[in-house]
Amino acid sequence: IYERDTTGDPIPYGQHTVTQPKPGEDLVLTIDRVLQEMAEQYLADGMKEHRAKGGSIIVMDPMTGEILALATSPGLKFSSLEEDLSGGGDDALSLLRNRAVTDLYEPGSVMKIITAAAAIDAGVVGPNTEYVDTGIVYIENVPLKNWDDGSYGKQTMTGVLQNSINSGAVFMQQALGTKRFQQYLDAFGFGKPTGVDLQGEASGIFRRPEDDGYSPVDVATQSFGQSISVTPMQMMQAVAAAINGGNLIAPHVVKARIKPDGTRVDVPPQVVGRAISPQTSDTIRQMLGAVVSQDPDGWGRNPSRYTAGGKSGTANVPVWGTYDETQIVSFIGFAPLESPKILVLVKLDENGDGKTGTVAGGPIFAKFTDDALRYLSVRPEKGPSAVSR
């Protein structure tokens, strides 16, 4: 700090203060470079196969909140940094943001995981509770149909997840009631930042009864992932809580800090709340296992070497109070089923082939999971190399 004249030059014998620099800390990241490379390659291949304009693959340890890999596209490449940013404008600036924490989207049927967890935790339904699906439910005279316009007849709540039945999600939401359902949305972390140690995190949005323009249709559609906007990181945090015993854990990418003197300070997992009971979490894991193991059409969402659970999502993009034909598809899953080591979100934006989250995202999850758990030295549970117990 120094005194200067009108030309900007230091004034001789003026005030002059020097603050000596201090060495900064080194960071140890949770990111595993091998899993990161795998995630980037699987994302690139998936986008090419399904003609998607963008996407994300996030890999988390659901017990600790450690982010093991985080791939997003499109993104900045240092190999073409000058060329990518030379044009300026919004397109260039968009390459600088981390879409996993800044971009909002409607998750679609992945949200049925949270609806089922809430309803079971509150005791208003169980996995075998039955209802009759007629293919349509009316809320305020507004018809809400199933994703395929089909009807499934008598179903259990497990069947609702297996067949991704919208009316079944509304059935669970109505059993909870609006106030209690949205209290669970709060408990799962929706509508606020996760606290991940990355810049630019968005909060997410869902309409409440006290908000302008609210309609009972809003909360009904929230149950199956419409009228609610989330970030990919929020979805990871919520589903992690659903399967890890009920703990809402802050995602993080910093594992430890190394001080200038070499002292290591570990960053412990941070539990920020409890979403559901351990018993409910156990039930949800089994229900999601039934979703993945039911593969009658050879969709390929079931890993070949490990037990797993998961759920797909397919949502159109909202535009001025309605939806266009642009799709965002996703699949979120975990493995192994009884003791999850990884939680994986596969998300493809604007896939040109029009395939659903099950067909487009499920196989990417399954193949990535087999490769990732083999790399992490997790003993196979299926196949010729599995060991009987």
List active site positions. Answer: 109
Q: Which residue type, as a one-letter code, is found at position 31?
A: I
Reduced to 3 states, what is the DSSP secondary structure of residue 79?
helix
Nearest to 338, CA basis, from 312, 307, 293 = 307
Report, in angstroms and rounded to the nearest whole number, the Rg of the chain calculated over CA atoms: 23
Tally of helices (H runs) and strands (E runs) in the chain: 12, 16
Measured distance CA(239)–CA(289) in Å, rounded:
14
What is the DSSP code string of 150-214? ---EEEEHHHHHHHT-HHHHHHHHHHH-HHHHHHHHHHTTTTS----SSTT----EE--TTSTT-
21 token code pair = 């620099």
Q: Which residue type, as a one-letter code, is found at position 212?
A: D
Q: What are phi and psi of 342, to 5 degrees?
A: -140, 145
Q: Which residues contact 333 (CB under 8 A, 6 or more apart)?
A: 288, 292, 301, 308, 309, 310, 311, 343, 344, 362, 365, 366, 369
Measured distance CA(217)–CA(170) in Å, rounded:
10
Q: Which residue type, as a one-letter code, is found at position 199?
A: Q
For the chain, the distance separating the N- and C-terminal CA atoms, rounded to the nearest angstrom, is 70
